[in-house]
Amino acid sequence: MSQLDVDEIESRVRRRLAVTQARDEREAPRSLAPEKAPLSSERRLPSDGGATNVPKAAADVKTIAQACDGIALFQTLHADDRRALYACMYELTYAPGERVVRQGAEGRNFYVVVAGTLEVTVRVEASSSSSKTGELGAGPDDGDANTTRPTTKPRMKRLFPGDTFGEVALLHAVPRSATVTAAGSETCVLWALDRKTFKKILSEAAFERRRANESLLAKVAPLKMLDEYDRKVLADALVPKFYAKGENICVQGVRESPGGGAFHVIARGRVAVRLADGGEVNRLSIGAYFGEVSALEGTPPTATVTAITDVRAATLDRAAFRRALGEDVVAAMTERARLYKFDAVVASVGAPASASGRGGGGRGAANAAAAAAAARPRGLRGYLAGGGSRRDASGFERAAGAPSRRGDRDDAALGGGGMRWLSPSGKATIRRRDLTFHKELGVGMSGCVYFARVIRTGAACCVKVMQKKKLVRLDQVDNIKREKLLMTSFDTPFVMQSLCAFQEQAHLFLVMEYMPGGDLFQLLVNGTEKGLFEPGPSRFYAAEVLLALEYLHDRLYVYRDLKPENVLIAGDGHVKLADLGFCKKLQPGERTYTTCGTSDYMAPEVMLSQGYGKSADYWAFGVFVYEVLSGAAPFTGKTDSARHKRILTADLKFKANFHLHAKDLVCKLCVVDLSRRFGMMARGASEIKEHPFFSCEPGFDWGALERREARPPLKPKMRRAEDMMAREPMSGVARPGEDDKLSREEDELFGGY
């Protein structure tokens, strides 16, 4: 039995229940249900549907910037984004004694104090074990004054002009951890920014920056041979760099980094190219590039490039350049670069000669290079000079969507004990009346999972029961329908499968195979002495989870909700990825902007609505590896604000005895810069599979794991189906009530389930 502290277990469970989803209006239409009234007591700003006569506070953006200077959330943002956010703040005034935010109510805005004094009060409920609430991000609801029973006197402090509070509300909806009231005899003036505006500005800015990077790369002659997907990968990896007038961007004969040169594309401004004798030989402006030969071959620059105005460049160092494209693509580009007709002057910075001085080679040279590249045999990833795909050929064929063989498999393989769950027409062979429910196994945002028995055959199963009315209210109808579709589409032992699904008047039922080992989080807490796994079991479970993610990514899906609770243990000790409600298909290079998942596992780009793909899954995989080895998530903090700060800055801390190879792997997965994050570049998951954390283990065999032939290192205590069935059947499960009635329009939303 685990010796974990009870408060620690409660804290972890509480965080895990804080699953969030903020739907982006561009991605899916809203349901027909009316929007539920917000639980927030805060004023709405004009940009969030409030009164339109509230004045803008951005007359002095510099003052706002100074107030926000020490906040990690803003420090991690692009300078242009910060200025845009500050310019969208509004001025709010509060009379003495008027409440700004209430403890326990849903947070909506971020505030900067301009004038007056505010009093912060934190009351601790007698029924609450959480006395460690901190900033104004999350905490228990203290209710009204006449019903609150604090165990101690309220903790109080003051806020003065220049102070800020409430930044956690910009990331997602959480209860306020304190009450803030205007104090003194003067009117208080605040500047406020709402979450809707924050997310919109960041997502639109990220989209525009990526589009601008793609446009810049399209003008670079050596990259003409790349297909659209390759350019998108490079566009994601580009890092903005700023150079002041007169500053040297690169110096002749001096390596820009230990690994070699860097590739630069000018996005704004002009630069001068000079040789060692100091003479200027060329000038480059927007769209021009330099340094690609240094990035390809690792040679130092043969000329000095100096900014003659303030310059913004999109830059990629040599290591990131090679990881983004892969060795075979780099080899093809290097060969092509050698075919260019170089001018002795322009060749010094690696740009082909042209009449304009901008990047670009002669037509004859480009054609010769293309012909030479096309004459070579295709590599594994099918890279062609004139087109083709950079993706792994076998993975891409699988991603094209070969039909699932699940329908040809014996249902006994899915835990049905020989029972046929589907009729020849594909309809479920059971209904609610055919089932008895014996134990509640888990509770999620969308419904409850029960252990159930089919009365006429005695077959065991798990049934996820979801209330239609609740799904409509939470705007989860599309997610649930997608989950049902996906759980019948995949043909792999690493992802949970559905046996059948059906609906009745007020409820949906998703029938799944029974997993007697429970989930990995329960095994961590209850099946280990210290609430963590040794390196051997951690390696095994991480490897099987990685195979599940690789399977989904090959089919162009991102999972988006990895955590030990969603990793279920089968009777043979192997694991399966469950709960596909947030799983989403993205075309190659496409991004999604929805904020969803569990906060402990959210990548910075998810939290900030900057657009993401499988990058979010690889970050979460790093968090997963850390947690199974240490027993806690890596970015824990006393407050939500502290936790978010650590996530946004990838602030990783390890105990002295943390496995060294695992430490290196986590550091390469939980990194903010996508060009450095493992799994994101040309080699994909292979980069992770070949890491020493896996490869250093004698006898570790990925092939045996894929075939499910490897022996699981642990055998958790199994909850035998026979013992579960011996329990008295539960009454009242999925019985419709008066409040469950749906309108005709609402019921039509579930058509085809």
Q: How far apart are CA 285 and CA 271, in angstroms?
A: 7
- Other Cβ atoms closer than 10 A to 422: 17
The two three-digit tokens of residue 283, written as one number:
């000038």
Strand arrangement, sheet containing 155-159: 99-101, 179-183, 117-122, 155-159
**Predicted confidence (pLDDT) at residue 217 exceeds the cutoff of 60:** yes
**Secondary structure (3-state) at 13:** helix
- Does 31 have pLDDT greater than 60? no
Residue 261 located in a structural domain: yes
The average confidence (pLDDT) of the chain is 79
Report which DSSP code applies to 494: T
Total domains, the chain: 4
Whole-number pLDDT of residue 232: 84
User: Which CATH number do you get for residue 66?
Assistant: 2.60.120.10
Supply the pTM of this predicted model. 0.79
The yes-or-no verdict on residue 358 having pLDDT over 80 is no
Q: β-strands 164-165, 239-243: how paired?
A: unpaired
CA angle, 387 then 389 then 393, to 5°: 140
Q: Which of 252-261, 297-306, 459-468 has the highest mean pLDDT?
A: 459-468
Angle among Cα 505, 509, 515 to the nearest 5 degrees reads 165
Q: What is the DSSP string of 278-341?
A: S-EEEEE-TT-EE-HHHHHH-PPPSSEEEESS-EEEEEEEHHHHHHHH-HHHHHHHHHHHHTS-
In whole angstroms, give the CA distance from residue 338 to residue 328.
16
429-to-242, 484, 501 alpha-carbon distances in Å: 64, 16, 9
Rounded mean pLDDT, 353-366: 34
CB neighbour list of residue 491: distance below 8 Å, 6 or more residues apart: 404, 405, 406
Residues 294 and 166 in one domain: no
Summarize the confidence of residues 521-543 as an average pLDDT: 90
Determine which one of 141, 227, 561, 579 is catalytic: 561
In a domain, 7, yes or no: no
* Tokens coding 252: 């002749």
Tokens (6 digits) for 18: 């804080």
Q: What was the pLDDT predicted at 349?
A: 44
pLDDT of 638 > 60? The answer is yes
The residue ranking higher by pLDDT, 40 or 319, is 319
Q: Do 340 and 238 share a structural domain?
A: yes
pLDDT at 350 over 60: no
- Residue 56, classed as helix, strand or coil, is strand
Same domain, 154 and 260: no
Same domain? 437 vs 485: yes
Q: Which of 82-86, 412-416, 739-743 has the highest mean pLDDT?
A: 82-86
Is residue 196 predicted with pLDDT exceeding 90? yes
Integer Rg of the chain from CA: 29
Work out the pLDDT band at 11, boundaries 50, 70, 90: low
- Asked if the structure places residue 30 within a domain, the reply is no
Last residue of a domain, one of 166, 201, 236: 201
672 and 606 part of one domain: yes
Q: Is 148 helix (H, G, I), strand (E, B) or coil?
A: coil
Q: Do 155 and 268 reside in the same domain of the chain?
A: no
Do 47 and 190 belong together in one domain?
yes
Whether pLDDT at 610 is above 70 = yes
Domain-terminating residue out of 354, 389, 424: 389
pLDDT at 447 over 80: yes
For 714, residues 6+ apart whose C-beta sits below 8 A from its C-beta are 523, 527, 533, 537, 573
Q: What's the whole-number mean pLDDT along residues 438-457?
A: 89
**CATH code for the domain of 734:** 3.30.200.20
Instruction: Identify the domain boundary among 357, 389, 421.
Output: 389
505 vs 159: CA distance, rounded Å: 53
Cα distance from N-terminal residue to C-terminal residue, the chain: 41
Domain identity same for 548 and 662: yes
In a domain, 213, yes or no: no
Domain membership of residue 70 (yes or no) is yes
Residue that wins the pLDDT comparison between 99 and 229: 99
351 within 8 A of 359, measured Cβ to Cβ: yes
Residue 113 token pair = 């104090």
Q: Greatest CA separation found in the chain?
A: 92
Which candidate, 241, 279, 278, 275, places its Cα nearest to that of 347?
275
Q: Please compute the mean of the pLDDT values over residues 110-120 and round it to a whole number.
A: 93
Whether pLDDT at 14 is above 90:
no
Question: What number is the average pLDDT over the span 231-246?
Answer: 87
Tens of pLDDT, residues 669-696: 999 988 889 998 878 899 999 999 998 8
Q: Report the length, in residues, of the chain.
A: 753
Under the banding of pLDDT at 50, 70 and 90, the label for residue 495 is very high
Shared domain check, 630 and 528: yes
Q: What percentage of the chain exceeds 70 in pLDDT?
A: 79
Listed range (244-253, 416-425, 467-476) with the worst mean pLDDT: 416-425
- The tokens describing 229, both together, are 């997907």
661: part of which helix (H) or strand (E)? helix 660-669
Question: Does the pLDDT at position 130 exceed 50?
Answer: no
In a domain, 207, yes or no: no
| pLDDT value, residue 339 | 58
Q: Give the distance, in angstroms, between the CA of residue 459 and the centroid of all CA atoms in the same chain.
A: 38
Here the CATH number for the domain that contains residue 692 is 1.10.510.10
Structural domain of residue 434, as residue ranges? 406-516+723-748
The predicted structure's pLDDT at residue 381:
34
C-alpha closest to that of 295 among 323, 328, 268: 323
Contacts of 337 (CB under 8 A, 6+ apart): 222, 292, 293, 296, 350
Active site residue 561: yes
Q: Specify the pLDDT at position 56.
A: 87
Sign of the C-alpha dihedral computed for residues 469, 475, 478 and 480 taken in this order: negative
Q: Are residues 416 and 370 in the same domain?
A: no
DSSP structure string for 333-395: HHHHHHTS---TTGGGGTPPP-TTSSS---HHHHHHHHHHHHHSPP-TT-EETTEE--S-HHH
* DSSP codes joined into one string, 683-723: TTTHHHHTSHHHHTSTT--HHHHHTT-SPPS--PPP--HHH
**Amino acid 149: pLDDT:** 47
My answer on whether 508 and 563 are in the same domain is no
How many of the other CB atoms lie within 10 Å of CB of 522? 17
One-letter amino acid for residue 347 of the chain: A
What percentage of the chain has pLDDT greater than the value 90? 43
Classify residue 593 by its DSSP letter: -
Report the pLDDT averaged over residues 467-493. Answer: 89
Structure tokens at 277: 């004798």
Tell me the pLDDT tens digit for each residue of 267-314: 999 999 998 877 888 999 988 888 877 887 778 887 899 999 999 998
Could you give the CA distance from residue 496 to residue 577 in angstroms, rounded to a whole number? Answer: 6
User: What distance in Å separates the CA atoms of residue 551 and residue 685, rounded to the nearest whole number?
Assistant: 10
> Is residue 300 in some structural domain?
yes
Do 527 and 495 share a domain, yes or no?
no
d(CA 94, CA 685): 54
Of the candidate ranges 38-52, 333-347, 561-575, the one whose mean pLDDT is the lowest: 333-347
Q: What is the pLDDT of residue 23?
A: 41
Where b means 16+ CB within 10 Å and e means fewer, 285-294 reads: bebbbbbbbb
Q: Are 239 and 673 in contact (CB under 8 A)?
A: yes
Neighbours of 208 (CB within 10 A): 11
Does residue 712 belong to any structural domain of this protein? Answer: no
pLDDT of residue 330: 77
> Is 102 in contact with 144 (CB distance < 8 Å)?
no
SS3 125: strand
Per-residue pLDDT, averaged over 498-502, amounts to 93
CA distance 134 to 637: 10
Residue 343: pLDDT band by 50, 70, 90 thresholds? Answer: very low
